[in-house]
Structure 1
Amino acid sequence: MSQQQPEMNMSRTPLAPKPMLPPAQNNPLTPKRLLRVQQQELIVINSDSECDSECEGETNYGDQSVYIVDMDVEKENVPEQSPKVVDEDLIITFSQRANVLPHARYDCPVHPFQPTEVKKVPIHKNFLTCEQCYCYICDKPALQCAMWTVTEVCHCNSHKNNDYWRGLRDVKLLGFLRYFDITLCEMDTRFREAEVMLGSFTVELAKEYSFFMRSSVVYTHNYTPVYECVWTFLNKADGQEDKAAAVMRLGAAMRFMAHTQPAGPSISHCPKASATTAKVLLIERVIAAVQQQMVLADFDHVFSGKLNCFYQVKIPLPSPLMWRLKMRYWNDPLLVSVLRGQNVSGVQGKGAKKDTLYEELPVILLRVQYLQKHYRYRELYRYLRVVLCAGVSSAELTRFQEVTDFIPLYMCWTAEFAEAISQFSTSSRRCPTLRLTPFFFRLYLHILETGTAPVLDAELPTQATLATAKWEKIIGAEPQLHTRLVVLSLRVMKIQKAIYSDSSCWEALLSMVNTPRDTPVPLEKPSALYLQDARMMVRHELNKGLHMDNICVPAALVAMYPRQGLLLMMTEALAMRITNSLLVPAIPVVNTFKDNEWAFQWLCDSLMSYSPDAYLSFMKGLLQELQSASIPTAAVLHDATNAVCACGKICKSNKGLRTHQRSSGCKDGDVSGTAQTSAANASSQWLLPHPLSYYYPSLSVNINMTH
């Protein structure tokens, strides 16, 4: 008790009569005070202060010790006792015999026990018991032990200091769990329940297997009942706690893997009917479940080591299946060094001690799932960059590549945008650009532009889950400059033709450079001299060749007009794309230019300079898209001397137009004349000079931009 608490609450309970003590003046042990503060306990305050004997009525609590003595006895049955001085520091004021608690027979305080290794007959008086004696072997009251005095196995002689009795106790209490080297200290309710279920399963399985093995000339051996018995037990194991479930699965595997197929007729068309094929199905399920537990349940290395020793020694597995269960623990030195970024090669040691990070595809997928679930994205992409898949089939290797293609996505979640971008330019076999789809191209473009990313759930990401995922801000991420994104996009398009041909990818790119998110206003039209010089610069840069590293944004292009320069470079690249093949659908791409009409004029001029036929095909396809969308007065061409069919055909006169329609079967009517757009759609029309007006001065086009 400290000096800050000098008062004791001794008035809560009426004081009981004080125990008999010598007077203070005659007590050689003074200063001591014995205070009763409750009827059920004694508090002895022992002080070494010299002033205690001098100050009557006062108590010094400076260096005192408090002793609480339980008094849970019936006071009337306890005779009063005189104090007994043991030594100069201890005085006994009260004592009674302790209650006898449950104990093993060899610890009985009532009946002496004679240790012995004899198990045939009771020795001395070892068979005598008190009410609290327990059997060491059965772990239950001795009076309930059926083997207490049975000849050859006298449990009354058992004790903990003999190997035989300890082994017999382990067999009795641990049962099947002794094969896993599980100790009694580790035994809990879940393990006991698992052991009971394993015991019942063993009996039932033995009956089914015995019926399957019966020999008869006319009997057809059918393993299906045995298979269903094991399958039902494995279903029960799925509902248990992780450690208990692992013990039940491997225990069942130990039993059924010892089965053999007897000679005689069998059902060949059913894999479950043969012990040989049915065991493969069952062990595949067991291995898959144990693999999942070893990774996701994160067992401690001690328990994992016990499982490892069990299936290597007790289960007769073929070498390929045995290798599948030899997984690295999470505390494996090589795996830990890779996750921490200390090892970037996945190789450790040299010569005979060389260790390479090889893992089965199911294990790789489970590790990815575990790390992703716990948001450990940095460790995840470090692991995927170096791990090697031990699979040999093409399907496994393809699946492994699909997983490694998400390395840039995990890098983005750690705000390492520069590292993510570099992954698309690497020349390694794991470069995701070779397998990049238009969907993921748009996904990465949006992530790098906005600094946000889709939230990943516990499952492996797919296009379906990412398309509906919620987007969140990446902590510490800075959106990338458009210059860098344009260069990245052009390099990817040089490699991946699917992205180069996809209209939605061009729409995403042109939307980014036409209307930047930070300043969503139309861009100012550059000077004519700049437009002339810019055309030569961007054509020279885009025509360098197919080597992706050769593409860059000229400094002179973005020196005076940085945003306009990027827009012109992408517009020129689009013109080259349309020249090579028709762009479908074209309306969404054209609609990105609605705020920058001068850029669309640039596109039309570039198309006419490359190929007038490509330009006419582009316009024809655009008009057909508008008509198929049922847009009224989608395109209106005015021409005093020429006539243009809805299919895009330019005729010299209306007569020539009608001749063309009869021969080609066009029935949409001509789009020449004085047809005007309705007033309802007039406000949504985007009117641009048609580039053909350079060659046909009276020709213009009016395109609806609302769709």
Structure 2
Amino acid sequence: MEPEEGEESVIVISDNEGENDGETSVFIIEHSPEVAETSKEKSTEVVDEECGLAITYSKKGNVMPHARYDCVEQDFMRTENDISEPAGNNLNFCEQCYCYICDKPASECQYWKLPSICHCNAHNKSTYWKAHRDVALAGALSIFDFNLVEIDSELRHGGALLQKFWLELALEYNKYLMGIIMTRNHLIPCICVCHNQFKRLCEICQMNHVEIRLYSYTPVFNMVNKFMHQAEKEKPKSAAIMMIGVAKEILLHKQPPQEVFNKDDRTSTPKQAVPIFMQRLTNSLQRMLVLSDFPPYLFNKLKAFYKTLPFPSYCFAFTNSLNVLSWDDHFLTSILRGQNITGHRQKKGRKEMLWEELSVVQARVERMEAREEYRELVRYLRVIKCSDTLKLRILQDKVPFYFCKYGDFHSAAQSFHLSSSLSCCTACRLTPYQYVVYLKIFKTGTVPARCELSDEGRWTFVKGATSIRNCALLKCALRILFVNDILYRDIHCWTQLIQIHSSSCILGEEELQVPPPVFVKSTAVLAAAILEDLKNGIVGLPKAFSSVLQRESALILITVAAAQMLHKKLSVMNIVLPLIIAYGKNFWALKLLFDSLSVKEEVLHHFCALLSSNIRVYKSVLIDAFKCHDADYVSDLVTLFLSFKQATIQSVSIPVLNVLVEAWHEFKTKECLWTETLHSFLQNKVIPAMEMLNTAQFTELRNKINRLF
């Protein structure tokens, strides 16, 4: 190739490239008239016969930007870590020389020849200078030993904020170490008479006016607190870098000797303030390691760096706080997959159990809930151990709910109790609201769409779920009541239990058939023995509860259990009306309840008096029940009360009829047949019965009824 006019030839390439034993095949030829002349003649001239080099084309090359140690114009002397002064000719540079550390032109490097730094000596073959370059490029991230390829924009952002904060924190911490000079009476006001009245200092109060140096770490605390708030708003990677970088600095903060500080301020010394931050930092970092899906290199390097932090004696409790298992840890995965159901393993001849900090447990629960990994969540909660047993127990009490979420209702019913001995278990801690929600779940076979045990919001069917049998539901519901005294004496829990086993306008079920009186009586006797077994942990039910009348048998068992509860707890109750309404049209079962209460006259009298009072106070509840059913319901209810021989039970019909009379105008809005039925019932049944009783109360009520027509 012919060179252009005015260009200078400088490059010579060997035509034996690849056969020179590793030596370079490119030689720089000094500009000479002979070369130029040769170029003009367009001839090939052998320059070195031994090397076999020939000039084929030559021109002066454009020198590209390069590191100082690669400069071809200025010699460079390599040293390992010489920073005292420029070595050899390293101080000199060409126009294209760059500083290896700063990544700036050598002419712009502020530390090019500065003693104790000397960037001019830097090169890529020195371990010292390579580490120095990594620090310069990575900034605060260099402390984590990242490779440059591992540093993404999120990490770099966190490192930049951390680097800036370190400089600001150093200034504020230095102010703390300097202290503030003031007199002692600023801390302890002087009460001496000489000082307050005569405005002079005596020997007694003179000590209160000497100058002291007061130290307050509170400004540092406030600065760190502000930065922590900022970190919590950043993305996970940035936040983790910022938080662990803060820990590195504040753990180095020390109190000056003979420090004087305000004892009323909880943040006036590092010893008081730093543990506060460490608790907050470790909790946040633990949650991020669980929830943020950090890549393995970042996960491991954060943990490794945390172990190198210099924990003072007052922070030793946080030394192992970041020993968080990754999601792919073999021990953890074996538990989540059901391969390890004990939560124990043998490691180096020692037995270990799965133990994690509360914040880690909470984060794992949160993540598995979000991913609907309910089977794994049950396995985890059944074996995990934690120092905060009370808060862990709150999480573990949701295990029955998680069983329900993936459709294993039978296991859910069993999980309320740890053992057949009915020792302290989840059932002991259920609230009345939770109990009612669980009954609805078991009865309908549906669960809340959200991961909250709440009756509100949308409910869904679980795909592939099998509903719990009525017998299993009955045993579970009663056993829970027997071990939980709060539920046992809560009338609404019994109301819900009765509703799901009898007619209910809520569930839209029809009333049960009326069983023969002999069957009711014999089953009631059997129910008493069954209830004793359930209370003692024996959970089997006789074949009678699997017969054709199993629903009726279940209602008899519940009624006998309710009567036993009323015998024990009636004195502490203030409402029983919902219990009566819960039976719906199953008046035969309601009659059994009154018969069971009649065993003790004082209990029956107290119950009827409380029921009558409830009807007068909560008349709207009874009116709603009337509207929910038909006119026959009202008639049959009043007839039931009047059919008893005991005057105490008969008297309950008076407040019921009073409510009916007072709300008569509301019932007129219903179909004509409804009003006619009630009219016929009152005229043909109630008024004759009142005439037979002939009491003052019934006489007054009879007059009210007659005025309606």
Per-residue deviation, 1:156:
4.9
1:596-675 equivalence runs, <5 A: 596-608=586-598, 610-630=599-619
| Structure 1 residues 411 and 124: CA distance shift in structure 2, 3 A | same
2:3 corresponds to: none
| Structure 1 residues 411 and 632: CA distance shift in structure 2, 3 A | closer
2:367 corresponds to: 370
Q: Given the alignment, which residue of 254, 257, 269 partners 2:248?
A: 254
Length-normalised TM-score, structure 1 = 0.71
1:46 corresponds to: none
1:386 corresponds to: 383
1:464-503 equivalence runs, <5 A: 466-503=454-491
Q: Given the alignment, which residue of 384, 397, 401 partners 1:405?
A: 397
Q: Kindly provide the amino acid, as one letter, of the partner of residue 220 in structure 1.
A: L
Is the contact made by 2:503 and 2:584 (CA closer than 8 Å) also made in structure 1?
A: no
Any stretches of 5+ residues in structure 1 without a counterpart?
A: 1-95, 651-667, 703-707
Q: Kindly provide the amino acid, as one letter, of the partner of residue 592 in structure 1.
A: A
Q: Kindly provide the amino acid, as one letter, of the partner of residue 117 in structure 1.
A: T
Q: Which has the higher helix share?
A: 2
What's the CA shift string for 1:111-167, capped at 9, x where partnerless?
Answer: 698572275436668955565x64321123445433446667554553322212212
Matched, 1:579 2:567: yes
Per-residue deviation, 1:322:
0.8
Partner Cα separation in structure 2 for residue 639 and residue 376 of structure 1: 57
Is the contact made by 1:180 and 1:306 (CA closer than 8 Å) also made in structure 2?
A: yes
Length-normalised TM-score, structure 2 = 0.71
What's the CA shift string for 1:409-444, capped at 9, x where partnerless?
Answer: 111112122221111232287731121222221121
What's the CA shift string for 1:381-429, capped at 9, x where partnerless?
Answer: 111100111x2xxxx3222211111111111112122221111232287
Is the contact made by 1:134 and 1:141 (CA closer than 8 Å) also made in structure 2?
A: yes
Partner Cα separation in structure 1 for residue 65 and residue 219 of structure 2: 47
2:318 corresponds to: 321
| Structure 1 residues 518 and 438: CA distance shift in structure 2, 3 A | closer
What's the CA shift string for 1:277-321, capped at 9, x where partnerless?
Answer: 122222222222222222222323322222222222233243211
| Structure 1 residues 623 and 218: CA distance shift in structure 2, 3 A | same
What's the CA shift string for 1:664-699, capped at 9, x where partnerless?
Answer: xxxx99999x98984644859998999xx9xx9899
Secondary structure at the residue paired with 2:501?
Answer: helix
Secondary structure at the residue paired with 1:515?
Answer: coil
Q: Kindly provide the amino acid, as one letter, of the partner of residue 527 in structure 1.
A: P
Q: Kindly provide the amino acid, as one letter, of the partner of residue 332 in structure 1.
A: D
Is the contact made by 1:213 and 1:221 (CA closer than 8 Å) also made in structure 2?
A: yes
Partner Cα separation in structure 1 for residue 555 and residue 88 of structure 2: 101
Matched, 1:297 2:292: yes
Residue correspondences, number: 572
Q: Given the alignment, which residue of 470, 478, 496 partners 1:508?
A: 496
Partner Cα separation in structure 2 for residue 386 and residue 134 of structure 1: 60
2:79 corresponds to: 117
Partner Cα separation in structure 2 for residue 112 and residue 470 of structure 1: 78
Matched, 1:278 2:298: no
1:124-523 equivalence runs, <5 A: 127-129=92-94, 134-148=98-112, 153=117, 155-214=119-178, 217-262=211-256, 263-317=258-312, 318-349=315-346, 352-389=349-386, 391=387, 396-427=388-419, 431-456=425-450, 461=452, 466-515=454-503, 520-523=509-512
Secondary structure at the residue paired with 1:354?
Answer: strand
Is the contact made by 2:608 and 2:649 (CA closer than 8 Å) also made in structure 1?
A: no
Matched, 1:524 2:524: no
Is the contact made by 1:624 and 1:647 (CA closer than 8 Å) also made in structure 2?
A: no
Partner Cα separation in structure 2 for residue 451 and residue 278 of structure 1: 52
Identity of aligned residues (%): 28
RMSD: 4.2
Partner Cα separation in structure 1 for residue 166 and residue 621 of structure 2: 79
Is the contact made by 1:424 and 1:433 (CA closer than 8 Å) also made in structure 2?
A: yes
Is the contact made by 2:74 and 2:92 (CA closer than 8 Å) also made in structure 1?
A: no
1:561 corresponds to: 549
Any stretches of 5+ residues in structure 2 without a counterpart?
A: 1-58, 182-210, 624-636, 669-673, 702-709
Partner Cα separation in structure 1 for residue 303 and residue 94 of structure 2: 43
After the TM superposition, which of the residue ranges 138-147 and 448-457 deviates more from structure 2?
138-147
Partner Cα separation in structure 1 for residue 218 and residue 263 of structure 2: 12
Q: Kindly provide the amino acid, as one letter, of the partner of residue 548 in structure 1.
A: G
Partner Cα separation in structure 1 for residue 132 and residue 144 of structure 2: 16
Q: Kindly provide the amino acid, as one letter, of the partner of residue 562 in structure 1.
A: Q
Partner Cα separation in structure 2 for residue 290 and residue 127 of structure 1: 49
Partner Cα separation in structure 2 for residue 636 and residue 532 of structure 1: 23
Q: Kindly provide the amino acid, as one letter, of the partner of residue 220 in structure 2.
A: V
What's the CA shift string for 1:177-210, capped at 9, x where partnerless?
Answer: 2221122222233333333333332222222222
Partner Cα separation in structure 2 for residue 251 and residue 675 of structure 1: 78
Partner Cα separation in structure 2 for residue 176 and residue 639 of structure 1: 88
Q: Kindly provide the amino acid, as one letter, of the partner of residue 223 in structure 2.
A: C
Is the contact made by 1:105 and 1:113 (CA closer than 8 Å) also made in structure 2?
A: no
Partner Cα separation in structure 2 for residue 154 and residue 398 of structure 1: 61
Per-residue deviation, 1:348:
0.6
1:88-99 equivalence runs, <5 A: none
| Structure 1 residues 344 and 260: CA distance shift in structure 2, 3 A | same
Secondary structure at the residue paired with 1:388?
Answer: coil
Partner Cα separation in structure 2 for residue 676 and residue 189 of structure 1: 76
Secondary structure at the residue paired with 1:524?
Answer: coil
Partner Cα separation in structure 2 for residue 675 and residue 241 of structure 1: 68
Partner Cα separation in structure 1 for residue 642 and residue 324 of structure 2: 77
Q: Kindly provide the amino acid, as one letter, of the partner of residue 421 in structure 1.
A: A
Partner Cα separation in structure 1 for residue 548 and residue 177 of structure 2: 90
| Structure 1 residues 101 and 625: CA distance shift in structure 2, 3 A | farther
Per-residue deviation, 1:343:
1.0
Partner Cα separation in structure 2 for residue 249 and residue 558 of structure 1: 63
Secondary structure at the residue paired with 1:359?
Answer: coil
Q: Kindly provide the amino acid, as one letter, of the partner of residue 307 in structure 1.
A: L
Is the contact made by 1:558 and 1:566 (CA closer than 8 Å) also made in structure 2?
A: no
Q: Kindly provide the amino acid, as one letter, of the partner of residue 450 in structure 2.
A: L
Q: Kindly provide the amino acid, as one letter, of the partner of residue 275 in structure 2.
A: V
Partner Cα separation in structure 2 for residue 483 and residue 101 of structure 1: 88
Q: Kindly provide the amino acid, as one letter, of the partner of residue 535 in structure 2.
A: L
Secondary structure at the residue paired with 1:325?
Answer: coil
Partner Cα separation in structure 1 for residue 424 and residue 481 of structure 2: 18
Partner Cα separation in structure 2 for residue 166 and residue 204 of structure 1: 28
What's the CA shift string for 1:441-477, capped at 9, x where partnerless?
Answer: 11211112212112335xxx5x7xx253432222222
